[in-house]
Amino acid sequence: MSSDIRLQDIENPNLFRDTFPYVEFPKVVFDSNPVPYDFPEQIWITDTTFRDGQQARPPYTPEQVLRIYDFMHEIDGGSGLIRQSEFFLYSDRDRKAVELCKERGYQYPEVTGWIRAVASDFRLVSQMGLQETGILTSASDYHVFLKLRKTRSQALQSYLDIVKAALDSGINPRCHFEDITRADYDGFILPFAVELMKLSKEYNKPIKIRMCDTLGFGVPYPGVALPRSVPKLVHGLRSIGVPSEWLEWHGHNDLHKVQVNAAVAWLYGCSAANCAIFGVGERTGNPPLEALVIEHAQLRGTNPKVNYEAITELAKYAEKDLGFTLAGNYPLVGKDFNVTRAGIHADGLLKNEEIYNCFDTKKLLGRPVGVAITDKSGAAGIKHFIEEQYVIDIAKHDPRVMQIKDKIDVEYAADRVSAISEQEMEAWIVEAFGADLPPRRG
């Protein structure tokens, strides 16, 4: 099949205007031709926190990079789930961070590089003693024609030259097919991949392909047409012989599909999904690392080696020391992610927490369920709050509970709209219990 694939060196760029009109929202085009699942035997996560993630915020200090890297290692727990992390190599700060992380000697995540498609950059990779590096190889005509000002054949040749330079330097290349979801698949992507597989055979070395959904155009639905179809992007590369373990998905969240697209890439034959802590990456960000860890557990089973609770500790560190502000309702780590406000929900939690909690958040993430106190919480919510904070079992209609409920009702009768703070609740509990105040938990 690959012998029939040829580069289509057209004169003018193919910008897929029927799909990307620009003056309208992009369109999802169906061709009613779904491709089959091709779930790899092994799937894993790679990380771009120290590359794409640093394009979205002030740079981390080398010491902060090391602490985050340590957290990734703790979460991985020796499982190989978080297999690699990529780093910039250009500044003294970048190189110090790499040195600190390499000194740890961890097997996972492996430290890899990221460079431009410039032969001289391989000197940086070699100096840092890295075995693998990502290389920017822009794939769409938007980039080839409009940014690089090249023809397809010129771009292809320049990319192949840089890949050869990597292989000649003893470095395993990872080609980043930038903007693949707007690229001419048959006319450029497949011919490029075929040439890479020829080089891989010639050098007897792996050449990885990262499929970069640079603007978040990827669509997970079956039967969607190229170039936006995540299933077809993966399936086509698999069909020309690219091994699953050489394929990696790198998404962005411009259209709110970053997480599902990464999972779908796994399902259709891509072993690696690239991510960043809490989704922080350029513009709308990348798949969140913590979300992919839990997605992996749902697809492959909860792994006893993986330290899921370290996700919670990483979130605490990010907010306390890195200046992150995670939304209260942010899944898995937001302060309110497993907190209920409705009284009827709190009542259900008291009877059986599985009714309103999606999994055992206390056991797996070190996050017990909570109840936020509002005018909707009722006596059940107050009872739950007290029992979470203090060593006591108390009846829902205990007079002390009702005393606190009366104070809350007064607040909302006066047109209060915010939730009752923990400090207010604690003061009212002390007042209601007086000398009989039980000891606090933990």
| Residue 307 lies inside a defined structural domain of this protein | yes
Asked if residue 114 and residue 26 are part of one domain, the reply reads yes
Measured from the Cβ of residue 242, the count of other Cβ atoms closer than 10 Å reads 23
Asked if residue 174 and residue 59 are part of one domain, the reply reads yes
Please give the average per-residue pLDDT across 27-32, as a whole number.
Answer: 96
pLDDT, one tens digit per residue, over 289-316 is 999 999 999 999 999 999 999 999 999 9
Asked if residue 63 and residue 189 are part of one domain, the reply reads yes
| Residue 62 lies inside a defined structural domain of this protein | yes
Q: Which domain holds residue 242?
A: 2-321
pLDDT, one tens digit per residue, over 10-24 is 999 999 999 999 999
pLDDT, one tens digit per residue, over 363-417 is 999 988 877 788 878 888 899 889 888 999 999 899 999 999 999 999 889 988 7
Output the pLDDT for position 360. 87
pLDDT at residue 2 is higher than 70: no
Output the pLDDT for position 349. 62
Mean of the per-residue pLDDT values of the chain: 93
Give Cα separations from 241 to 191, 231, 328 (angstroms): 12, 16, 45
Q: What angle do CA 75, 46, 217 make, to 5 degrees?
A: 125
pLDDT at residue 1 is higher than 90: no
Output the pLDDT for position 372. 73
CATH code of the domain covering residue 63: 3.20.20.70
Per mean pLDDT, which range of 129-138, 216-225, 328-337, 376-385 is the poorest?
376-385
Q: Percentage of residues in the chain with pLDDT exceeding 70?
A: 97
Please give the average per-residue pLDDT across 176-195, as a whole number.
Answer: 98
Output the pLDDT for position 64. 98
Asked if residue 160 and residue 87 are part of one domain, the reply reads yes
- Amino acid found at 219: V
Asked if residue 370 and residue 308 are part of one domain, the reply reads no
Asked if residue 265 and residue 197 are part of one domain, the reply reads yes
Asked if residue 244 and residue 155 are part of one domain, the reply reads yes
Report residue 202 as tokens. Answer: 């010639």
| Residue 442 lies inside a defined structural domain of this protein | no
| Residue 105 lies inside a defined structural domain of this protein | yes
| Residue 61 lies inside a defined structural domain of this protein | yes
Residue at a domain's end among 321, 352, 367? 321
pLDDT, one tens digit per residue, over 254-295 is 999 999 999 999 999 999 999 999 999 999 999 999 999 999
| Residue 28 lies inside a defined structural domain of this protein | yes
Separation between Cα atoms, residue 172 and residue 169, nearest integer Å: 9
Asked if residue 362 and residue 302 are part of one domain, the reply reads no
pLDDT at residue 179 is higher than 80: yes
pLDDT band at 122 (very low <50, low <70, confident <90, very high): confident
Asked if residue 315 and residue 279 are part of one domain, the reply reads yes
| Residue 167 lies inside a defined structural domain of this protein | yes
Q: Looking at the chain, how many residues does it have?
A: 442
Residue at a domain's end among 321, 354, 385? 321
Output the pLDDT for position 365. 92
Separation between Cα atoms, residue 318 and residue 45, nearest integer Å: 20
Give burial (CB, 10 Å; 0-12/13-18/19+) of 384: buried
Asked if residue 368 and residue 266 are part of one domain, the reply reads no
SS3 content of the chain, % helix, strand, coil (to 5): 45, 15, 45
List strand residue ranges (DSSP E) for 191-316, in order.
208-212, 247-250, 272-275
Asked if residue 180 and residue 57 are part of one domain, the reply reads yes
| Residue 331 lies inside a defined structural domain of this protein | no
Domain count, the chain: 2
Give Cα separations from 137 to 178, 186, 231, 232, 250 (angstroms): 6, 17, 21, 20, 14
pLDDT band at 319 (very low <50, low <70, confident <90, very high): very high
Q: What angle do CA 391, 395, 398 make, to 5 degrees?
A: 105
pLDDT at residue 327 is higher than 70: yes
